[in-house]
Amino acid sequence: MLAQTWWLILYLTGAIAMNGGSLRKDAELLVPELIVKYGYKGEDHSVITEDGYVLKMFRILPKRQTIAKKKPVLLVHALLASSADYSGVPTVRQRLRRLVGELRGSHYSKHHLKLPVESKEYWDFSWHEMGYYDLPAMIDHMLSVTNSKKLFYIGHSQGVTLYFIMTATRPECNEKVALMTALSPAVFWKHVRSPILKMIKPLVRPGTDTIRNILNALKIFEFLPYNEAGLRIVQPLCRPEVRHNVCIQMLGVLAGPHPDGTDPDAEELPSMLPRVIAAIPVADRKFNHVDFVLAKNVREVLYAKILTMLDKFDQ
């Protein structure tokens, strides 16, 4: 079943870093507000998973409705990210049918049919449940509303992790995906460079509940929530005039030192998959993990390649 899906893997040559510029007002806007601000129309979709989580999906429509019908594109965000990160990805200009998925527990998907979001039970999920329940629900919904048999899947970091979980546990989902594009795939931890990730790596192995037990004892169920308290801490540290002194250094500790070459973990992945059409390291050495979404030159060095490949598979 796995061979039914084609793979396009693009990976980075750097680690996380801030990419210049100042904090923008856009960061304070919700996804529907961003869509309207830049002159597009949008649709707000709700999807219910088999285990009762209510997920948001945002559809961004192009300014002109004369675009030829093409396969729909589903974009899935990274860890600690949201659909807002993909509201500017230019597939909207060439793809009439495009939805951005919002995973359980993220900013726009904190709802459940029975469980209150403040409860321990609501947050009792892992990447497994997100891959097993969230992605199939999003894919089926998108195929239904667009009356399509197959779609294109674009995942960034965690969005790639979840795709592998889905296809390993529900291989029939491969039949619904024409091409999977993996941006900076987060799959292996063998060569992790981050000091923080190195420290917690032994604590998050299968069967190890150390971190969960500590957080449960402290009544902390949500990991790094997006709220007013967090913003009051982060915004002063990440102002343009102090960014390089504090904010960049914190990100550097999280991401690890800047590597001289490509990530060995990302290089290993293509050799383990069938039907890989391309495994492309981004040519810009300064290109980093978040640049797959935020870089000023991302359209030239990355998105153009993706759009060309999508058009090829739409023939």
pTM: 0.78
Are residues 124 and 53 in contact, defined by beta-carbon separation less than 8 angstroms?
no
Give the best-scoring range by mean pLDDT among 1-10, 20-29, 275-284: 275-284
Q: Which domain holds residue 220?
A: 4-313
Give the best-scoring range by mean pLDDT among 9-13, 103-107, 246-250, 262-266: 103-107
At 126 the pLDDT is 86
Tally the domains of the chain. 1
We report the CATH number of the domain holding residue 21 as 3.40.50.1820
For residue 311, what pLDDT band results from cuts at 50, 70 and 90?
Answer: confident
For residue 13, what pLDDT band results from cuts at 50, 70 and 90?
Answer: very low
Tens of pLDDT along 40-76?
778 889 999 999 999 999 887 766 665 567 788 898 9
Residue 19 in this model has a pLDDT that exceeds 50:
no
Closest of 123, 125, 74, 126 to residue 101, by C-alpha: 74
Tens of pLDDT along 174-199?
999 999 988 877 776 666 666 666 66
